């Protein structure tokens, strides 16, 4: 059985990476973690791709009904929404221990998605630093690139493998956030529209028309209009009063991008749940909720936010 240090051990917040090979090691590391939590009356949640959930349902039997199970390929398809909508939602109260298994990175994740995934893993440490929670993150050693596993040692303070736990000598989440804050790849032949306050409605209409013309489902057109409207409104408020909207298709996605002269200094912007009394500041949170992937590049004087919508 793999022994995992938890928040109940007096650590406050614990965020170990579990390196596993094959179904047996996966179950050996996760099932005791779940059952120990349940026996101590600690809430347990698992967010993992469906093949792993199937393994756990079979191994847990009736106890699976006592665990909140989420398909990460759906709930966390946009890594930017995982902290607010999956992890913090499972953390019932900040002062009560919770055990969560979160697997945001698996071999089928695309190269386009990966930077957002590793940034998410780094930001977990900031988002949960004052909470009593243990978030165990499994990593498929056989299926993932060695560079991904190296990043895992930088985003997790402790590592677990084959029954052994040790402190990561390479733990450096701020370095990961810096290393992956890079200019985004240039698209081919985007449609470009500069906007300011009088042209905000035009930007929304243009995005809806562009998405409609390339065959996006009618039900998602309103999502596009809302996301582009929120991004453009942020440019007006925080990005110098104007911005540039670009739109194109990429693989099986419709993509929009807004660039302005702002600078996002809060790394958790758009990733915290909005308070019920909060009047503003929901724009990026809404975009993360609507889009299937959000990528961001920000530095003094320029911010680029790119949103992907699956066709």
Residues in the chain: 311
Distance (Å, whole) CA 164 – CA 162: 6
DSSP states of 157-188: SEEEETTEEEE-TT--HHHHHHHT--PPPPPS
Q: Quick one: CA torsion of 211, 212, 213, 214, rounded to 10 degrees?
A: 60
* Backbone angle region of 219, left / alpha / beta, with phi > 0 → left and psi within -120 to 50 → alpha: alpha
Burial 265-278, CB ≥16 within 10 A → b, else e? eebebbbbeeeeee
**Quick one: 59 exposed, middle or buried, by C-beta within 10 A (0-12, 13-18, 19+)?**
middle
Distance (Å, whole) CA 191 – CA 206: 10
What's the maximum distance between 2 C-alpha atoms anywhere in the chain? 63
Domains contained in the chain, CATH given:
7-179 (3.40.50.300), 191-310 (3.30.565.10)
Tokens of 118: 């590793």
Q: Quick one: CA torsion of 14, 16, 22, 27, rounded to 10 degrees?
A: -20
pLDDT at 279: 54
- 264, 262, 263, 286: which is closest to 274 by C-alpha? 286
pLDDT at 4: 81
Beta strands in 68-181 (DSSP E): 68-71, 98-102, 133-140, 158-161, 164-167
List the pLDDT tens digit at each of the 311 positions of the chain: 446 877 777 678 999 999 999 999 999 999 999 999 999 999 999 999 999 999 999 999 999 999 999 999 999 999 999 999 888 877 767 778 999 999 999 999 999 999 999 999 999 999 999 888 999 999 999 999 999 999 999 999 999 999 899 999 999 999 999 999 999 999 999 999 999 999 999 999 999 999 999 999 998 999 999 999 999 999 999 999 999 999 999 989 999 999 999 999 999 999 988 766 555 568 999 999 999 999 999 999 999 999 999 99
pLDDT at 1: 43
Relative orientation angle of helices 283-290 and 218-238, to the nearest 10 degrees: 150
pLDDT at 276: 62
Q: What's the pTM value of the predicted model, to 2 decimals?
A: 0.94
């Amino acid at each position: 059985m793999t022994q995992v240090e938890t928040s109940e051990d007096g650590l406050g917040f614990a965020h170990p990476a579990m390196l596993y090979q094959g179904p047996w090691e996966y179950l050996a590391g996760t099932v005791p973690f779940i059952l120990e939590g349940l026996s101590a009356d600690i809430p347990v949640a698992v967010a993992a791709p469906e093949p792993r959930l199937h393994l756990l349902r079979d191994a847990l039997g009736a106890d699976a009904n006592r665990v909140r199970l989420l398909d990460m390929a759906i709930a966390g398809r946009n890594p930017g929404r995982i902290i607010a909508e999956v992890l913090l939602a499972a953390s019932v109260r900040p002062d009560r221990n919770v055990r969560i298994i979160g697997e945001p990175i698996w071999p089928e994740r695309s190269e386009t998605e990966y930077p957002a995934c590793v940034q998410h893993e780094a930001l977990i440490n900031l988002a949960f630093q004052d909470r009593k929670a243990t978030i165990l993150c499994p990593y498929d050693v056989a299926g993932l690139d060695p560079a991904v596993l190296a990043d895992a040692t930088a985003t997790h303070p402790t590592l677990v493998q084959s029954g052994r736990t040790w402190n990561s000598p390479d733990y450096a989440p701020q370095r990961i956030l810096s290393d992956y804050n890079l200019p985004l790849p240039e698209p081919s032949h985007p449609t470009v529209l500069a906007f300011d306050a009088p042209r905000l409605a035009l930007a929304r209409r243009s995005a809806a028309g562009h998405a409609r013309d390339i065959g996006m489902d009618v039900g998602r057109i309103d999502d596009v209009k809302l996301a582009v409207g929120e991004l453009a409104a942020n440019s007006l408020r925080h990005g110098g009063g104007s911005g540039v909207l670009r739109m194109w298709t990429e693989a099986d996605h419709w993509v929009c991008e807004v660039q302005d002269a702002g600078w996002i200094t809060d790394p958790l912007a758009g990733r915290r749940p909005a308070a019920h009394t909060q009047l503003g500041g929901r724009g990026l949170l809404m975009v993360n909720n609507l889009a299937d992937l959000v990528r961001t590049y920000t530095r003094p004087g320029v911010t680029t936010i790119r949103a992907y919508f699956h066709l």
